[in-house]
Chains A and B, each alone.
Chain A
Amino acid sequence: MSLDALYQQIILDHSKLRHGEGLAAEQPPAGASCGESHQLNPTCGDEITVRLAVVDGRVSQFRWDGDGCSISMASASVLTDLAEGIDTEELRTLIGTFREMLRSRGKIAADPEVLGDAAAFEGVARYVARVKCAMLSWVAAEDALGQASS
């Protein structure tokens, strides 16, 4: 397993040009149902706050603020692109698929058809210590989604 398989170009790019970063920059759309979740990885101090707005059963806005490693930041950026515009059930399924892939220790291949750019995190599954980094924003999104839907 080479380091380049972990740090794929997509991940390095997203860790620099972070899509969706900045909670304060934009307010959620009027009338949207919102959820916000803060997640912390106590072993390394990485943290993220995700705010997600739902309008008519669809994720209309996904914004976040975070501080962490390239894996956790890129993961939040990729998730922003994937989450915006899909309906909440689709997002739940996507989170489940991503989690299953990451926890498989490399046994489940990532399907780019299903996971899109998030398939680039396939290499993370082989680094057990980094799985939490990749999951951080997704766990926050899951929690925020629960709030927005309730």
Chain B
Amino acid sequence: MVAIPTHLLPSAGTLDNDEVRRIRNDFPILHQQVNGRNLVYLDSGATSQNPLSVIEAEQEFYEQRNSAVHRGAHYLAVEATESFEDARETVAAFIGARSDELVWTSNATEALNLISYSFLNASLPGATAESARFALGEGDEIVVTEMEHHANLIPWQQLAMRTGATLRYIPVDDSGALLMEEAARIVGPRTRVLAFTHASNVLGTINPVAGLVALAREHGALVVLDACQSAPHMPLDVKALDVDFAVLSGHKMLAPTGIGALYGKAAHLNAMPPFLTGGSMITTVTMEKAAFLPAPQRFEAGTQRISQAIALASAANYLKETGISRIHEWETVLGQRLVSGLSELPGIRVLGPAAGQERIGLAAFDVDGVHAHDVGQYLDDRGIAVRVGHHCAQPLHRRLGLTATTRASTYLYNTTDDVDALLEAVSGVRSYFRV
């Protein structure tokens, strides 16, 4: 397993329902009735909720310090720039990175597109010599996995299509685990990029990062880690994992929408061609050409998402103070309770690792004879919020012989009562729909 950075070590004992109930008091949105029932929010895998401290951090910025950053010499501009850069340092430290290696993006999808478009730019005429090592062409291969979210699949499909490179994927077995013997055959001397998710948003599987990184290193491939489902829920140290790039999503980790981040090793980021160009990312501009700043500004063209970045830092602080490894332990408890409870119900097929095996705190499942949309509607009627559909992972669903599933995903504000409420409700679904 991953070594836990010392600053993320647990501050106290294991989380329990009593402490979680106190945590819930920090989240105003959770205290409401839906269809006459107390809201049971089990959709944090899609979007997490914001604690008051995060909401206030964003509001405080607009009330006290709102200004454009990295320009202007006035008081507010300096205050805004300092807060913005402090936020970068906080979020970078949260994942074990240096602050000059953390680029703000709108979301994780944009972060992945930033990488793929930068590589595309490196493959086009006019690319600099220093960016040549990112150029792709015929004979090169990009490798992903069969369990990827569309955000970590389609940008690579597009890059392959435009450069003539070949996209390959590491298949999964029936339980959704990566076939590592296949991986060893697929990743080879032609592999230039190996992109995979740390934890699956559908299966809950935690992928063997060390093994995959070792394979990539053997052949000199760059490693891109989708940390959307890991960074919010478990200790993450990008340096210890030795990945080249990692992406995360703010709204999945207690922050507002509109903010995400890209981690990249400085030596890569500073050699890569820009993705978006324009103001704030340049040194000298003439009518003919421009020279670019080093990372992270190199990839932050235009006015940035300042309040959102500050709110994301506030969210990272909230997670750090609660203890990310304590959160991980608690969600493991909730995830296991979900899987063992659901597996005992007749007609329910849980995707991913069986009960007792490692998984993050979510479970996607199929209800025999009832479409996921109907399951979700039935649960909503009881105040329970879950995600239904393909969860942006159509190829994985197809591989498992399904088109849509229901997913319950937990976070630090969920009690075991929430899980039990779901289990109780799911047990009534099939009889309601006369199956």
B-contacting residues of A (Cβ < 8 Å)?
A: 2-3, 6-7, 12, 15-16, 43-46, 67-71, 127, 130, 133
Q: Is residue B389 contacting chain A, with contact meaning CB distance below 8 A?
A: yes
Whether A46 pairs with B373 at a CB distance below 8 angstroms is yes
Neighbouring B residues of A70 by C-beta, 8 Å: 370-371, 374, 433
In the complex, how many angstroms separate the beta carbon of A63 from the nearest chain B beta carbon? 21
Provide the bound-state CA to CA distance between A135 and B377, in Å: 17
Residue among A15, A44, A127, A133 having the largest count of chain B Cβ atoms under 10 Å: A44
Neighbouring A residues of B370 by C-beta, 8 Å: 70
Q: Is residue B434 contacting chain A, with contact meaning CB distance below 8 A?
A: yes
Do A16 and B371 contact each other (CB < 8 Å), given the known contacts A3-B378, A44-B389, A67-B403? no
In the complex, how many angstroms separate the beta carbon of A67 from the nearest chain B beta carbon? 6
Provide the bound-state CA to CA distance between A71 and B372, in Å: 12
Q: Enumerate B344-396 residues with CB–CB distance to A below 8 Å.
A: 370-374, 377-378, 381, 388-390, 394
Other A-B pairs, 20, CB within 8 Å; known A46-B371, A67-B403:
A2-B381, A3-B377, A3-B432, A12-B434, A15-B433, A43-B389, A44-B372, A44-B373, A44-B388, A44-B404, A45-B389, A45-B394, A45-B397, A68-B371, A69-B371, A69-B373, A70-B374, A71-B373, A130-B377, A133-B373
Neighbouring B residues of A3 by C-beta, 8 Å: 377-378, 381, 432
A-contacting residues of B (Cβ < 8 Å)?
A: 370-374, 377-378, 381, 388-390, 394, 397, 403-404, 432-434
Neighbouring B residues of A12 by C-beta, 8 Å: 433-434
Neighbouring B residues of A67 by C-beta, 8 Å: 403
Whether A16 pairs with B434 at a CB distance below 8 angstroms is yes
The 8 A-B residue pairs whose C-beta atoms are closest, nearest first, are A69-B373, A69-B371, A3-B381, A45-B403, A44-B389, A70-B374, A45-B404, A69-B374
Provide the bound-state CA to CA distance between A68 and B374, in Å: 10
Neighbouring B residues of A68 by C-beta, 8 Å: 371, 373
In the complex, how many angstroms separate the beta carbon of B418 from the nearest chain A beta carbon? 20
Neighbouring A residues of B390 by C-beta, 8 Å: 44-45
Neighbouring A residues of B388 by C-beta, 8 Å: 44
Provide the bound-state CA to CA distance between A16 and B394, in Å: 26
Neighbouring B residues of A127 by C-beta, 8 Å: 377
Closest A residue, CB atoms, query B378: A3
